[in-house]
Amino acid sequence: MLKNGMIVGERYEIVSKIGTGGMANVYKAKDHKLNRFVAVKVLKQEFREDTTFIKKFKTEAQSAAGLTHPNIVNVFDVGDDNGVHYIVMELVEGITLKEYISKQGRLSIKEATSIAIQVSMGLEAAHSHGIIHRDVKPQNIIISTDGKVKVTDFGIARAASSNTISSNVMGSVHYSSPEQVRGGYSDEKSDIYSLGITLYEMVTGHVPFEGETTVAIAIKHLQDEMIPPSQYTPDLPHSLEQIIFKCTQKSVDKRYGGMSEVIADLKHSLIDPNGDFVQLFTLDPTEKTMVIGDNDLSEIKKQRAEAPVTSVKRQETFLMDEEDDDDDDNKGGLNRGLEKAMMIGGFIVGALIVAVVIFLVLNFTGILKGFGGGSIGNEDDKQDVATEEMVEVPNLVGKTEEEAIEIAKEHGIGIQFNGEETSDQYEKGTISSQETPEGTEVERYSTIKYKLSSGSAMLNVPDVVGRTQAEAEQTLTAMGFTVNISKSYSDEYEAGQVMTMNPAANSQAKVGDTINLEVSMGSQYDGFTVPDVVGMSEIDAKNVLAPLDVVVTSETSDTTEAGQVMTQSIAEGVYVDKGTTITITVSTGPADATPTPAAATAGGTWKCTQQLDTPIGYQGGVVKMELVQMVNGSPQASTVIDGKQVEFPYQLDITGVSGLTEGTLYLSELIGNDYVELGHYPLTFEQVEE
């Protein structure tokens, strides 16, 4: 997993992890080249050595990169950074349709229809480029904060050619079409089926087919008729129910011909909800279900036991034959005559294999001798063979990967990349360590894992001379340095400016090293007239009071906004010597975050239980966490933690203002005598049962 602050592809700075899937993690990142936030999808570590999955991962990006549409998440870039395979996509702030349905229970008819139209338009654009999504479901549909609907994660999409494509990739079984379940032909009509199931869930609040196992659900897609959505939603318009029925026909030929037809009927349903314009095929009673025999069912269960749906590394399929003589309904099955021919051929091949194995066993001694081996029963010869199979591990440390590959070949072993690590001893890109030590005897053809040096852990110290003390402290602590402040008089530098620094600017220092700053108190021969800092922010007050020794305390307040100065120990206008100690008191907001009547109407307890990763620049000291929420247009602050040392990642358990779903957490660390902000984080609150 990538850490916050890491740079990928020399331009994308990882900000936070925002999601995970079967084969990849998704991160929010800052594109420093174009100065924008993006989503970076990174292939998980366990798949980086699987060339097949890497090829699929890149194919996904290349196919999706050709799509530009308001209802599709755009793909910007694809790359490989020292074994980290990534795709850069448009960052869409919002929630998935699945989350939205869970929050709402079920959607209004107009809202569901509007979402379905936008999804259909995105899929229509993909289909026009020969790309089938094959995994349409609410989890892959995002509703942005401005109400735009976008289809994402063409994770198993493939460019469709004019030829038949037989795909054995299995999407989420709740939304999979019958032909996907069978492992048969899959085209744009499979996406239409999955869209119909998604529309069913939007208007009813649940999927039509449920079961204890994926096999049970898959079989229901094949042979069960779904309960009409109007039974769950009595006010469901007739036309919309007919659209759902047509999208989810089990026979491919009886569904819509394409997304343009779906869009036309959805738009028509908005102006004529109870119209009878949807042209459904009349089903013959014998066509309603497909009978699955006991043998077929056993085969399905056996295959699912060997390859569970949650597995990503192995492609999955249901193989079953339809006991239906209609040619149209047997496109995904095998011709019976062909089946028999294949079965007979299989028996013949099997018999030949058995004969070859018997021959090899009977002649094994002779074969060994032919290759210079001795008698199987000779113990000395056994030891010689064993000795020949052992090799000594060479030293790979300090070598480039190309050099290591050649050395490994000479010794009859393989090598495998196992990540990066910082190193002050070895240059970036060279091997810094190997898992199996040099000189160890291992079996020939063993694989030795190694790590590459990512370079020195030294950082370049920025130049903060001439900047204010507060600015310099924030810059240095954010990089992980410890800052030590001393003050002296100066006729050259204004009060509060950094005069000198040690180590010097642009020198190298390690994370955690102390940077000593000398800060000016102004001219020695002048006194200082204390200004009024009440109402200022803490940082602004410190800058204004730079000639003095500022001590900060904090208190709760119902009248002063959190973060603002409430009082100062020396009154405005008093003339004092520079270096005099002054104490300012900063508000932390109200003691109790009591909701206003408008905010409290929702009632109940609203909590946030997100996990907080280690902030950049954290030095392991005590922290302060403050929550700010907007109540009736005004910020309301409350202290979550004050003066406590915590272990990251930290599990939050915060009770917010009743009825408010959002808030911001401000995190600061005590550096010296002052709290320095490390960052602020958006939080989401949900109502919990009491």
Catalytically annotated residue among 135, 153, 191, 674: 135
Rounded Cα distance between 399 and 323, Å, is: 63
- CB contact at 8 A, 556 and 591: yes
Rounded Cα distance between 273 and 285, Å, is: 28
**685-to-145, 662, 664 alpha-carbon distances in Å:** 16, 6, 11
Q: Is 483 exposed, middle or buried (0-12, 13-18, 19+ CB in 10 A)?
A: buried
Rounded Cα distance between 237 and 199, Å, is: 13
Whose structure tokens read 């025999």?
293
- CB contact at 8 A, 506 and 460: yes
Is 294 in the active site?
A: no
Q: Strand (E) positions, 82-171?
A: 84-90, 94-96, 131-132, 141-144, 149-151, 158-159
Rounded Cα distance between 481 and 513, Å, is: 5
- One-letter amino acid at 24 equals A
Rounded Cα distance between 119 and 143, Å, is: 10
Q: Which of 504, 437, 528, 515 is nearest to 481 (CA)?
A: 515
Rounded Cα distance between 289 and 506, Å, is: 75
- DSSP percent split of the chain into helix, strand, coil, nearest 5: 30, 30, 45
Whose structure tokens read 């993909």?
126
Look at the chain and count its residues. 690
Q: Which of 516, 520, 519, 509 is nearest to 484 (CA)?
A: 516
**What is the side-by-side strand order in the sheet with 686-688?**
654-655, 605-608, 686-688
Structure tokens at 125: 């654009």
Task: Please give the positions annotated as active site.
Answer: 135
